[in-house]
């Protein structure tokens, strides 16, 4: 991907649930941004354009990119000269207490059945939180208002997913919410399943075209 998009990629590690429930992973992601800003590593100092950064993640990484992006936009002054220009949410993992139409239709999905998502959220969310918590369901929480920070920073968002993913309705709903808040939003939905390009690398070139168009505003 780095070669195809002509970008420098920093892949981060973060604390995992259930030992470290959310927001630990979000905090780690923001800490990583501060590290990028201050590091003396040659490959960052020599080749990275800190004024043109994008946060990207697939599945749970898409959730992480969204929430870390919110936090980064809210503390942008402390990240200078690092600037977040966009969020790339690839098959982002979100949920909710009520089933969506796609979750009902694909309740026995062989890759990501909703009941497995429910179990995951049980161990990831803060103790006592339900699936309408802002970390899980941004469309029914105060996160709806917080996304104004993304708009005010001029940060763009790409939401990409597949129609064979039980989470597709939630992904489309997120894209709609961002657009309604005035965030410059690009959506890309096609045939396939959750994590398509990760499972089938032959599908990745088509995704790279979408990413390139978004990053370079082609």
**59 is a catalytic site residue:** yes
Candidates 59, 90, 91, 169; catalytic one: 59
Catalytic residue among 133, 165, 169, 188: 165
Contact assessment for residue 190 and residue 159, using Cβ atoms and an 8 Å cutoff? no
Given a contact cutoff of 8 angstroms between Cβ atoms, the answer to whether 160 and 194 are in contact is no
- Identify whether 109 is a catalytic site residue: no
End-to-end CA separation in angstroms for the chain: 18
Q: Going by DSSP bridges, is the β-strand pair 53-58/84-90 parallel, antiparallel, or unpaired?
A: parallel
Active site includes 91? no
CA 132 from chain centre, in angstroms, equals 18
Cα–Cα dist 191/203, whole Å: 11
* Catalytic entry in 67, 90, 188, 194: 194
* Residue pair 15/28 in contact by the 8 Å Cβ criterion: yes
Catalytic residues: 59, 165, 194
């Amino acid at each position: 991907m780095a070669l195809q998009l002509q970008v420098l990629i920093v892949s981060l590690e973060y604390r995992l649930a259930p030992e470290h429930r959310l927001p630990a992973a979000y905090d780690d992601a923001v800490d990583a941004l501060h590290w990028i800003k201050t590091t003396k590593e040659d490959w960052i100092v020599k080749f990275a354009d800190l004024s043109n950064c994008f946060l990207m993640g697939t599945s749970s990484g898409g959730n992480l990119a969204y929430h870390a992006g919110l936090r980064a936009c809210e503390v942008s002054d402390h990240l200078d000269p690092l600037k977040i220009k966009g969020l790339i949410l690839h098959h982002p993992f979100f949920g909710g207490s009520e089933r969506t139409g796609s979750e009902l239709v694909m309740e026995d999905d062989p890759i990501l059945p909703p009941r497995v998502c429910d179990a995951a959220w049980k161990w990831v969310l803060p103790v006592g939180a339900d699936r309408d918590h802002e970390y899980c369901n941004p469309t029914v929480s105060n996160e709806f208002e917080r996304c104004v920070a993304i708009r005010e920073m001029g940060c763009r968002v790409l939401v990409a997913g597949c129609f064979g993913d039980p989470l597709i309705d939630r992904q489309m709903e997120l894209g709609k919410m961002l657009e309604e808040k005035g965030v410059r939003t690009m959506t890309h939905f096609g045939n396939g399943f959750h994590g398509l390009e990760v499972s089938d690398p032959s599908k990745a070139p088509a995704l790279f075209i979408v990413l390139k168009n978004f990053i370079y505003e082609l």
